[in-house]
Amino acid sequence: AKETGKNGLCFYTPDINDRLVQYQEITNLLRDALNNDGLELVFQPQISLSERKSDSCEALLRCFNGQSRAVSPAIFIPVAEKSGLINRIGDWVIEAACKQLNAWKKTPLENLRVDINLSGRQLTNPHLANHILETLKRYELEPHQLGVELTENEVFGSDENQTRQLEKLKEAGLHISIDDFGTGYSSLVYLRKLPVCGIKIDRSFLQHAMQNNADMAIMEAMITVGHSLGLSVLVEGVETDEQAQLVTDLGCDLAQGFLYAKPMPAQKMEEFLASF
């Protein structure tokens, strides 16, 4: 059973009886989307807090069903990971991001870096780094124009071969960030050893920091550690002016959230950045 939300998003009920059906439905939907042009990237700017500018954005995947309603990636990505479709979907994302970067060449957006989300499963592909670098070349792009985001568990849970893929990308010049920072089992020792450029602090910390001293302290500590390791620090989910002020006061480098912009299609990015 699914309900259609106000903004056309489908919310799937967690009812156990429906789960198998949903799994099948979503898998079919994803296959169909892959074969029939039903996937799209939307982009959300990452905002520099000291200069009020944006040099990078995050690419987020959208999947449309027949009635052109979007299913949330929070629902379909886990299904894609389970079914193995994530490799095809991940390749589609790499291709689409590079295609977009190429289309932005010689426009005001030509220096905008695009960060894609990688799934841990993609890292198990020993050709991933080469595949990304070849795709960049094919679209006549420099490696620093692309970034990748991975969660702590995906990175810290990885073996040597997987870390090697990340190292290769970092050496080539891609920007690497740890996503949802603070929610996984991060070890600060590993953080120092890993090929990482920045951390993105999960929005749950910001949500609670306003009311909760412990969360505020944790956020401060994460920012301090990030900076002392030479990493850029972004806070996710900034929705209010009050939150923007807080993360600025705490010394964060970057912010991302609905206060600045919701994820938007590529054509909208040009307008947004021109008037920002």
Q: Provide the binding-site residues for ligand C2E, judged by CB under 6 A.
A: 44, 60-61, 72-74, 77, 93, 116-119, 179-180, 237-239, 256-258, 263
d(CA 65, CA 31): 11
Comparing every residue's Cβ against ligand C2E, the nearest one is: 257
CB of 17 to ligand C2E, least distance (A): 25
β-pairing verdict for 70-71 and 113-117 = unpaired
Interacting partner of 258 out of ligand C2E, Ca ion, none (Cβ under 5 to 8 A depending on kind): ligand C2E
Between 152 and 236, whose beta carbon lies closer to Ca ion?
236
- Kindly tell me which of 47 and 112 has the beta carbon lying closer to ligand C2E: 47
Cβ at position 65, least distance to Ca ion in Å: 22
Q: Smallest distance from the beta carbon of 113 to Ca ion, in angstroms?
A: 14
Q: Kindly report the backbone phi and psi dihedral angles of residue 252, in degrees, each rounded to the nearest multiple of 5, phi listed first.
A: -65, 150
Minimum distance from CB of 261 to ligand C2E (Å)? 9
Distances (CA, A) of 175 to 88, 113, 117, 215, 262: 22, 9, 12, 28, 22
Residue ranges binding Ca ion (CB under 5 A) = 117, 149, 179-180, 236
Which of 257, 219, 255 has its CA nearest to residue 237?
257
| Residue 132 vs 228, nearer CB to ligand C2E | 132
CA atoms of 255 and 234, how far apart (whole Å): 5
73 CB contacts (<8 Å, ≥6 apart)? Answer: 60, 61, 62, 63
CA distance 124 to 141: 25
Q: Do 197 and 175 meet the contact criterion of CB atoms below 8 Å apart?
A: yes
**Which residue's CB is nearer to ligand C2E, number 87 or number 102?**
87
Nearest distance, CB of residue 196 and ligand C2E, angstroms: 16
